[in-house]
């Protein structure tokens, strides 16, 4: 199995929204984005699948070393070897890969966040930097697109957090800020017990509103001249937005189940969005 085949398999194993947005990339961009996503999966799986924090920390340190080896031209892991092609073609910053690993490390040491300011740092590290790496692969002209990438990464992570409330509590992780739980007269124990009701509903509405605000702010920050180049990220965002809307329409059942968007619906959203962005781009042509 080649490094690219390994990354492709790693991507297809997940029902992620990333996969559907990759369908509209050039072959070179698809290779780079698939390798990037496979890297994200590898380091995320270290934290999720290792029951011993010390073992997980050791594995993440190995990945830190592997990133250094990658940027020195001597990668070993199939994912890093696939990324070698990417860094040869695109301006991918080593610091962003290390920042992502730091974000994963936070899950080994932090099980809750006192306020949104603390949570926003986590969101930046595990999602914002992925956005920054993504725009480097897709290409942009205006530096304002950097702000778009950060805000969109945070928006998508906040949607993930809302979707995964039940799953995360089973792992002993509580991403909803503690001061906001207190404001709605709830606790970690209430979430762990699956305690629904009016207060929980208002709490989740509040979380959804903030995610939607970051989503809207991200697109306000996206310069028109970079919109078509960034259409893959827009496709991804549309799929996540459909997930947020489904959670809202089902009245926030996140303590009982994990809400999903069907694969066929994701494919339809990807096609519809790609078609819309193509038409918008045609209208800009002289």
pLDDT tens, position by position, 166-218: 999 989 999 999 999 999 999 999 999 988 899 999 999 999 999 999 999 99
When pLDDT is averaged across residues 47-56 and rounded to a whole number, the result is 87
pLDDT tens, position by position, 236-252: 999 999 999 999 999 99
113-286: which CATH topology? Farnesyl Diphosphate Synthase (1.10.600)
Question: Which listed CATH number (3.40.50.20, 1.10.600.10, 3.60.15.10, 2.120.10.80) goes with 1-109?
Answer: 1.10.600.10
When pLDDT is averaged across residues 213-229 and rounded to a whole number, the result is 97
When pLDDT is averaged across residues 85-106 and rounded to a whole number, the result is 96
CA–CA gap between residue 58 and residue 14 (Å, rounded): 25
Instruction: Quote the pLDDT of residue 241.
Output: 97
pLDDT tens, position by position, 135-176: 999 999 999 999 999 999 999 999 999 999 999 998 999 999
Instruction: Quote the pLDDT of residue 16.
Output: 67
Give residue 177's Cα distance to chain centre. 19
Domains of the chain, by residue range, sit at: 1-109, 113-286
When pLDDT is averaged across residues 9-22 and rounded to a whole number, the result is 75
Instruction: Quote the pLDDT of residue 269.
Output: 95
| Structure confidence at residue 48 as a pLDDT band (50, 70, 90) | confident
Supply the mean pLDDT for the chain.
94
Closest Cα to residue 164, out of 183, 191, 131, 190? 191
Q: Is 113-286 in the same CATH topology as 1-109?
A: yes
Q: What is the pTM of this model?
A: 0.94
Cβ atoms 151, 221 nearer than 8 A? yes
| Structure confidence at residue 22 as a pLDDT band (50, 70, 90) | confident
């Amino acid at each position: 199995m080649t490094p690219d085949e390994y990354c492709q398999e790693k991507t297809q194993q997940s029902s992620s929204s990333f996969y559907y947005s990759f369908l509209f990339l050039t072959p070179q961009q698809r290779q780079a984005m698939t390798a990037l996503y496979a890297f994200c999966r590898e380091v995320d799986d270290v934290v999720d699948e290792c029951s011993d924090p010390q073992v997980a920390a050791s594995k993440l340190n190995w990945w830190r070393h592997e990133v250094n080896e990658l940027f020195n031209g001597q990668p070993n892991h199939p994912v890093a070897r696939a990324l070698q092609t990417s860094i040869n073609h695109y301006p991918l910053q080593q610091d962003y890969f290390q920042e992502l690993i730091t974000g994963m490390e936070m899950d080994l040491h932090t099980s809750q966040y006192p306020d949104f300011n603390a949570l926003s740092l986590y969101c930046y590290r595990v999602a914002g930097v992925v956005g920054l790496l993504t725009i480097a692969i897709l290409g942009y002209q205006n530096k304002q697109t950097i702000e778009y990438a950060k805000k969109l990464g945070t928006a998508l992570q906040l949607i993930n957090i809302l979707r995964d409330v039940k799953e995360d509590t089973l792992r002993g992780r509580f991403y909803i800020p503690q001061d906001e739980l207190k404001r709605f007269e709830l606790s970690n124990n209430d979430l762990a017990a699956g305690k629904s009701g009016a207060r929980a509903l208002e709490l989740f509405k509040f979380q959804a509103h903030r995610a939607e605000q970051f989503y809207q702010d991200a697109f306000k920050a996206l310069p028109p001249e970079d919109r078509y180049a960034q259409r893959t990220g827009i496709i991804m965002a549309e799929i996540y937005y459909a997930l947020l809307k489904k959670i809202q329409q089902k009245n926030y059942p996140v303590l009982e189940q994990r809400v999903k968007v069907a694969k066929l619906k994701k494919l339809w959203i990807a096609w519809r969005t790609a078609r819309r962005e193509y038409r918008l781009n045609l209208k800009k042509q002289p």
